[in-house]
Amino acid sequence: MAVSLAQYAIFFGVVIIVLAIGFLAYFWRKPKTMDDIAEWGIGGRRFGTVVMWFLLGGDLYTAYTLIAVPGLASSSGTLGMFAVTYGIMIYPIVYATMPRLWTVSKKRGYITASDFVKDRFSSKFFALLIALTGVLAELPYIALQIVGIKYVLSALLIPVTIALIIAFLLVAGFTFLSGLRGPALTAIAKDAIIWLSVLVVIIYIPIKLGGFTHMFAAAGAISPKTISLPPVLQLGYVTLALGSALALFLYPHAVSGTLGSKDSRTIKRNASLLPLYNVLLLFVAILGIAAVVQAGHLYTPANSSLAFPDLIIAEMPSTFTAFVFAAVVVGSIVPASIMAIASANLLTRNVYLEYINPNASSGTQTWLSRTLVVVVIIAALAFSLVPAASTEIVYLQTMGGAFILQTLPAVYISLYTRKVNKYAAGLGWFAGMTTAIAMLYQLGFGTSLYKNLDFIYVGIFALVVNLIVTGVIMLVFMAMGKVKDEGIIDNNEFT
């Protein structure tokens, strides 16, 4: 497409404003000292309901969402709706588990889930395994945020590589400076921009395509997949949705965001309010169907990332296209920043502090985390810019969800019972990871739905193996009469 000066002005204007907010966040609710890992890393545990809504929303609904959900819908029809089903199933479990994790973290000064695992199982080695699982799952996720915006940059004829490097060095810069306050404040601007974009587009485009009735009928004529799911994929659909829902708040960035909350009630309130974001998710899934109608055919999985940008270019006025594309870029900034903070916190707290320098002061930890944020973002940039690596990332992402799910017994179940010991949870983790890797290897790492078993989601199958191993080992300890309360945390520290 030909790009006008006005389009560039709108696009750069919006992106620059949001980046500037990230830097200005340094002054927002400025603490007496930033040499405190809890201040930099989780914003001093001071965010109330409104900020938390934007922060967690900004954390969970990303640039990748805006590209990948319509993309999946454009190539596989209703399978793309799994994102909505998954969104619905996230919050009841958040309501049940996260206030407990927050409470114990507040009492004992935890910054990461692995901090909790260490005390809960009295094992810094198990904590290390959980931390490394987190970082492994997180890195490709950050890289995907960067890959997600490549398409809009090239559509706007902006030199992709140099633009990405500049943009993400700026993200690294404000994150270094502001810590979790940076993404928290930018999340507010980001949300306004994304909601405005999606609401305008979801009203405007179906009207242009002849209304919803006509649009879905046309899509159904192109492929029945777009209006109902092929029965063979039903098990895959529900296990993928359930597995993703269980996995989401095990991701380090979701934990970091949640621990920034000022009290446990704020988390509960948000578990009731955050589902509103799922409406946005539903709209972008439908935009994937609109893209099918607009193009007149299904997209292939390989070019499905272009479905959303193509649709916007074809149907929206050019100046609004620039605004929507800016929204995609802005949508990558907030999550990339939080994900980098979460990974840096894990490396600082559960690797450096435990294994390298146990006497590191809070100030030293903060400076190390700040430096690591820059390292993590540069690593993710490198990942996403090397052409061979950028195709690998998508595979890493499908693995990431299956991997992080294997930390569920160690993190969620141990919020409720202290009976499960490190051998049971640890060997369960090992069995789950091995199963997930073996199955993904068999699938050539190209998909996470296992076709030999009714397309079940690999992560859920591995989790079942994990839980069985954990259970069997517990039975062995029970038979030996050796089941007792583990770790140094009292039962009353969770509420």
Partner 1 sequence: MNKFLKFILLAIPYFFMVLGIGIYNRVNPEVGGWPFFYWYQLLWIFIAAAITMTVYYVEKVEQAKGSGS
Q: Which is nearer to partner 1, 272 or 357 (CB)?
A: 272
Cα–Cα dist 160/145, whole Å: 14
Please list the residues that pair with 261 across neighbouring strands: 47
CB closer to partner 1, 212 vs 355 = 212
CA nearest 385: which of 163, 147, 171, 151?
147
Subset of 273-292 contacting partner 1 (CB under 8 A):
273, 275-276, 278-279, 282, 286
Pairing of strands 456-457, 449-450: antiparallel
Question: Contact between 81 and partner 1 (CB under 8 A)?
Answer: yes
Compute φ and ψ for 386, nearest 5 degrees. Answer: -70, 120
One symbol per residue from 183 to 222: x for binding partner 1 (CB under 8 A), - otherwise; what is it? ----------------------------xxxxxxx--x--
Residues 6+ apart with CB under 8 A from 466: 406, 408, 409, 428, 429, 431, 432, 435
Answer yes or no whether residue 269 interacts with partner 1 by CB under 8 A: yes
Q: Among 28, 95, 204, 423, indicate the residue that binds partner 1 (CB under 8 A).
A: 95
From residue 488, alpha-carbon distances to 9, 130, 391, 480, 493 in Å are 57, 18, 44, 22, 10
CB 86 within 8 A of CB 245: yes
Pick between residue 85 and residue 364 the one whose CB is nearest to partner 1. Answer: 85
Nearer to partner 1, 278 or 407 (CB): 278
Which DSSP string corresponds to 51-77? HHHHHHHHHHS-HHHHHHHHHHHHHHG
Closest CA to 251 of 366, 112, 426: 112
467 binds partner 1 (CB under 8 A): no
> Which one among 3, 17, 88, 351 touches partner 1, defined by CB under 8 A?
88
Nearer to partner 1, 50 or 217 (CB): 217
Place of tokens 């996720």: 141
- Single out the residue of 107, 265, 297, 451 in contact with partner 1 (rule: CB under 8 A): 265
Shortest reach from residue 334's CB to partner 1, in Å: 22
Smallest distance from the beta carbon of 57 to partner 1, in angstroms?
14
> Footprint of partner 1 on this chain (CB under 8 A)?
78, 81, 84-85, 87-89, 91-93, 95-96, 211-217, 220, 227-229, 231, 234, 237-238, 241-242, 265, 268-269, 271-273, 275-276, 278-279, 282, 286
